[in-house]
Structure 1
Amino acid sequence: MNNKLNTDKTDLFIITGGPGVGKTTLINGLANKGFTIATESARAIIKDQVDHNGDGVPWKNKQRYAELMFKESLKAYHQIVDMHPDRIAFFDRGLPDTLCYMKMEKIPVTEKCYETIKATVYNKKVFILPPWEEIYETDTERKQSWDEAVFTYEKMKETYTALGYDVVTVPIGNVERRCAFILAHV
């Protein structure tokens, strides 16, 4: 099976990393500058599942949670492509993040899943935010320990690299500095 992706779509950028590293703040900063964004679906999925007494949360049914993340990530991708086909867009996580989660949790990854990820084309350059202990917090949706957050970062970097992406580490800093760094690399 060829796990390398066709990453020639030049205007769709993923921002990834472990939990609690400032991805959402950065994405919102880019939105405030007029860029098209796709927000992360994980928190919305967890909130919806908790509100409706569903089991698609990481602490109950990891496979169902992964399925919901995959579905919502794919939906967000197509919404951006269909609604803003000629604009630069930033994604708070991409489909490969779900692949990474599935591998970390030892959830079987089907050939169809791999094929969908390969067909969902982003820019080859992926921005990753490193662990930042000073801002890391747990809450009702984010329950990972600091060590789990660091492990997730390492696995995200490994997953994107294995898929053929060029992983660019965004330096720790305030949102303006991080936005400027990303825009200088876009």
Structure 2
Amino acid sequence: MSDRFVLLSGCSGGGKSALLEELARRGHAVVEEPGRRIVQEELAAGGSALPWLDLAAFARRAVAVALADRRRMADRPGPVFFDRGLIDAASALEASGGEPVVAALAAAHRYNRKVFLTPPWPEIYAGDAQRRHGFDAALAEYARLETTYAMLGYETVVLPKVPVSQRADFLLARLAE
């Protein structure tokens, strides 16, 4: 299963969601970012498991959602592309002062050995109702994730800063190597 599960990670606001939409348009199975779904649910319900209110609670929910996403996609044939996933959530939980779970979860739930990172791209970065942190926080997150994936033995592939269709072509070509 792990070879079929492909992670898109990297800098917040770096174009992961647009790339995921392009991959879906091309007929690939995709899983939207757990964090964005959680923020939408929490805002709608007046909840507090939000990264700017209670990062640890938010990250714990993101871990649970990411695990559920993996289970939901287990029988799906072919590659499945995840906008973030379990390792990003576990890394956020540790960074928030929560439980040290990255190594254990990553060992039990592997993804494809190639992880595709969207680099910091200030020209396209934009905050919104669900992304309230600034670009400096996005840069810190990127550095943390880059270190985490290397520590876990993943090969990180930095996506080029090109139009989304070319990014998808690049990703699919590198995945096929």
Matching residue of 2:83: 92
Q: Does the CA contact (< 8 Å) of 1:38 and 1:77 recur in 2? A: no
Deviations 1:74-123 (A, max 9, x none): 111111113x0x3111110121101221232222225xx64333211211
Equivalent in 129, 142, 145 of residue 134 of structure 2: 145
CA separation in 2, counterparts of 1:104 and 1:174?
32
TM-score (structure 1 length as normaliser): 0.89
The alignment status of 1:70 with 2:59, answered yes or no, reads: no
- Written as runs of structure 1 = structure 2, the 5 A alignment for 1:103-182 is 103-110=94-101, 114-182=103-171
Deviations 1:36-72 (A, max 9, x none): 1111011111111111111100121111101110011
CA separation in 2, counterparts of 1:36 and 1:173?
22
Q: Among the aligned pairs, what percent are the same residue? A: 30
Structure 2 unmatched runs, 5+: none
Deviations 1:118-159 (A, max 9, x none): 211211110001011011011111011111111111111111
1:169 corresponds to which letter in structure 2?
V
1:127 alignment partner, SS class = strand
Counting matched residue pairs gives 175
Which aligned segments of 4 or more residues in structure 1 are displaced greater than 3 angstroms? none
Equivalent in 40, 48, 53 of residue 47 of structure 1: 40
The alignment status of 1:79 with 2:68, answered yes or no, reads: no
1:90 corresponds to which letter in structure 2?
F
The alignment status of 1:61 with 2:54, answered yes or no, reads: yes
TM-score (structure 2 length as normaliser): 0.93
CA separation in 2, counterparts of 1:164 and 1:132?
25
Structure 1 unmatched runs, 5+: 1-7
Alignment root-mean-square deviation, CA = 1.4
CA separation in 2, counterparts of 1:41 and 1:49?
12
Worse-matched range after superposition: 140-149 or 113-122: 113-122
CA separation in 2, counterparts of 1:9 and 1:50?
33
